Amino acid sequence: MEQGPILSPHILIFPAPGQGHVNSLLKLAELLCLAGFKITFINFQNIHERLVRHTDVEARFSKYYGFQFKTIPGCEAEDPRPADWVRKLFQEMEVKSKPIFKKMVIESNPAVNYIIGDGVMGFVYDVAVEVGIPTIQMHCISACSFWTFFSIPDVVAAHQLPIKGKEDMDRLITEVPGMERFLRCRDLPGGFCQVSHISDPNLFVITKEIRQSQALIINTFEELEGPILSQIRIRYPKIYTIGPLHNHLKTKLRSIEKQESYSSSTSLWEVDRTCITWLDNQPSQSVLYVSFGSITIMTRQQLMEFWHGLVNSKKKFLWVIRPECVINQDGDNLGEIPEQLQEGEKEKGYIVKWAPQEEVLAHKAIGGFLTHCGWNSTLESIVAGVPMICWPYFADQQVNGRFVTEVWKLGLDMNDVCDRGVVEKMVNDLMVDKREEFVKSTARMAELARKSVSEGGSSSSCLNRLIEDIRLMNMKAHGSDTYKDNLS
Ligand code: UDP
């Protein structure tokens, strides 16, 4: 696949230390490998160790010429509240990771020609600018949540924050262009922007990682987020929408390798595949899949409300419960899944600590998804045509949940109420009573997603444009004749 030193630029890709970010950027890395680029993929050490322990990524990527993994020491920030943890993590990165990363870039051999940094790690962009290497921010979140974070200074300037108590949660926020008619206080990013004081240290944590630039990459597709993308284009004239990335990669690999089924895990946890065997024995569209992603923490009480709601709904469910995701009243980790859940109602529910989610969502037995609306989960559900019940937890998830339910009409919103009665009703609405309306909207969106990554589709064309632009930029930097030939 090597195309010579000038046509084959060396690209450095660096994701934030989270499952969703590593997933998206590894997929982008593989797509760029397929285009013949040399990729160095940088991971935080602790993340990389888990990735290698639970997947075959090293073997899989070794087939790409010039691909290498590199690691950078992990950060040690800790806090039981995710938004506080993120704030501390970013502070630590700025102090500790930035200088190490800069040295790595300067000393890189072969020299780095282009840097794709995670949109939530502004320091990567800053280093690239400092050392004079072309760079772009890649946003692993939705366009709608990116745009909300971007617009927060205007929301504050218009005095639409802070939020004045629970009764203020349904007030409309009118300063995010394109969302004036439906974005409520409760839809602002949880943990960061739903503040009761403007001086809250978390308010601008994500916003200040966003850099002003000509271009950016977003893991979304035009047909899903067109109106919001039009708003973003006023500030960022060049946007490469190349999602849904997981489906894009699958489609490309299928067309190249002529493989019907392609599965590639990038999990940081050990995947329990027994749930696929369990699903194989369930009737079509009869099972609700329940997963709150890799970061969500819930109290034992919330867990039990979900449990009773699910059992009372009398629908079958497959539930992912990471043992570290449940805390007791003192905020301490429960460590183990309560026995009651493991023992009771076995014939109705199946619980695993980590599932092969993409495969689960694509399984014919799945009829709905109770989700925290993480962006990867949302896109995976959209591609699989599975309707959602939204229980957003923090960050971008609240905005995603609002778009899923109010704009795209792909599911139901729990409106933050974690109560067994609400869970039971939502499950029955989604799986039975309102099933018809969701079957149509989810099938339509799944088809649009599929088309966008197919040859000639919007995301496929954007990826080609990105590849071409990187090549041209590289040739220009080398002042090559090939570049001049290309222009003439
Ligand atoms: N995931 C998985 N198995 C699980 C739960 C989640 O493979 O049991 C994957 C899921 O497919 C998704 C990612 O983990 O790609 C979670 O990312 P998302 O953006 O949805 O949420 P986050 O974990 O960042 O909150």
pLDDT in tens, 395-416: 999 999 999 999 999 999 998 8
Q: One-letter amino acid identity for 248?
A: H
Q: Residue 335 pLDDT more than 90?
A: no
Around ligand 1, the residues with Cβ closer than 6 Å are 18-20, 23, 267, 291, 293-295, 320, 354-355, 357-358, 374-377, 380
What rounded mean pLDDT belongs to the chain? 92
152-172: pLDDT as tens digits:
999 999 999 999 999 999 999
Ligand 1 atom showing the smallest separation from residue 267 Cα: 7
Q: Which pLDDT belongs to residue 46?
A: 95
Q: Which regions of the chain carry the CATH code 3.40.50.2000?
A: 10-144+202-263+455-487, 274-449
Closest-CA residue, ligand 1 atom 13, reads 20
Residues with active-site annotation: 21, 118
Work out the pLDDT band at 261, boundaries 50, 70, 90. Answer: low
Q: Residue 235 pLDDT more than 80?
A: yes
Question: Measuring CA to CA, how many Å separate 427 from each of 186, 309, 411, 415?
Answer: 22, 8, 11, 14
Q: How far, in Å, from the CA of 114 to the mean position of ligand 1?
A: 28
Q: Could you say which DSSP state residue 19 is in?
A: H
Q: Which pLDDT belongs to residue 484?
A: 42
Of 83, 32, 90, 43, the closest CA to residue 210 belongs to 90
Q: Residue 308 pLDDT more than 80?
A: yes
Structural domain 274-449, CATH architecture:
3-Layer(aba) Sandwich (3.40)
Q: How far, in Å, from the CA of 374 to the mean position of ligand 1?
A: 7
Of 8, 53, 68, the closest CA to residue 34 belongs to 8
Q: Residue 67 pLDDT more than 80?
A: yes
193-205: pLDDT as tens digits:
999 999 999 999 9
Higher pLDDT residue, 110 or 345?
110
User: DSSP letter string over 153-197?
Assistant: HHHHHTT--S--SGGGTTPBP--STT-TTT-BGGGSPBTTT--SS
User: What average pLDDT score do residues 449-471 get?
Assistant: 97
445 in Cβ contact with 459 (< 8 Å): no
Q: How far, in Å, from the CA of 246 to the mean position of ligand 1?
A: 12
Q: Please state whether the predicted TM-score (pTM) of the whole model is above 0.75.
A: yes
User: What average pLDDT score do residues 301-319 get?
Assistant: 94
Q: CATH for 10-144+202-263+455-487, among 2.170.190.11, 3.40.50.300, 3.40.120.10, 3.40.50.2000?
A: 3.40.50.2000
